[in-house]
Chain A
Amino acid sequence: DTGVSQDPRHKITKRGQNVTFRCDPISEHNRLYWYRQTLGQGPEFLTYFQNEAQLEKSRLLSDRFSAERPKGSFSTLEIQRTEQGDSAMYLCASSPKTGGDASTDTQYFGPGTRLTVL
């Protein structure tokens, strides 16, 4: 079990550029979540997938944001036309979520991708 991995770990971009982040969940975890965290705040939910299906998107996820999980394994989060307000840590988490056992709700986080928009 190698844990949740994210790539890249750091990204610096200029305003207006597009960026894409990748997340590889823990093997056999069927739920994958994206969160965003700014300094001094807790993570905020962005979206989540059950296998390849995107089940919910937060209103924080503007039209410039898109997420995919095409084969139910890794996921990508793309931000188009980045703005300085997009600067944050983007966190990915996964959980096994198999049936009604609440313990399978437990989410494990990757190391995050820190985005800086200049």
Chain B
Amino acid sequence: QKEVEQNSGPLSVPEGAIASLNCTYSDRVSQSFFWYRQYSGKSPELIMSIYSNGDKEDGRFTAQLNKASQYVSLLIRDSQPSDSATYLCAVNKVDYKLSFGAGTTVTVRA
């Protein structure tokens, strides 16, 4: 079982719609959860971090964490063409190294 799994893509959404990304993790001691955005050929860019159960909103992005279900998600509202990228879910355990999922590629079509 992989430590971090993301829903397989690619995910295609029309401009203005909501993109929903899901991630599950296997290690219950995980403490910190992150979503990174990665454009093709570029490095990961942090867009959201979440540490406690519930929702966290930042602009058009909302992260949701459910530690009991070992599940974290990212919603992108009012999707724009500039949101077209690969989104990486990352989980930080007590030893502080990040474990990443393989990523979900999102394409926002105009």
Contacts and interface: CB of A to CB of B under 8 A. Distances in A.
Contacts of A41: 102-103
B95 A56 contact: yes
Interface string A80-118: 000000000101010101000011011111111000000
Nearest to A110: B43
B102 A43 contact: no
B100 A43 contact: yes
Q: Is the interface of B mostly helix, strand, loop or mixed?
A: strand
A45 B97 contact: yes
A112 B43 contact: yes
Nearest to A4: B43
Contact of A102 (B45, B51, B95, B102): B51
B42 A111 contact: yes
A44 interface: yes
Given A31-B96, A33-B97, A109-B44, A42 B4 contact: yes
User: Could you say which interface size class chain B belongs to?
Assistant: 20 to 34
A40 B102 contact: yes
Given A33-B97, A45-B97, A48-B97, A108 B46 contact: yes
Given A42-B101, A105-B32, A48 B96 contact: yes
Contact of B49 (A35, A89, A103, A111): A103
Contacts of B92: 105
B83 to A, nearest CB: 19
Interface in B1-54: 4, 31-32, 34, 36, 42-46, 49, 51
Contacts of B108: none
Interface of A: 31, 33, 35, 40-45, 48, 56, 89, 91, 93, 95, 97, 102-103, 105-112
11 contacts: A42-B100, A42-B103, A56-B97, A91-B44, A102-B32, A106-B32, A106-B49, A107-B46, A108-B46, A111-B42, A112-B43
Given A33-B97, A48-B96, A111-B43, 11 more contacts: A41-B102, A42-B88, A42-B90, A43-B98, A43-B100, A103-B49, A106-B34, A107-B46, A109-B43, A109-B46, A111-B42
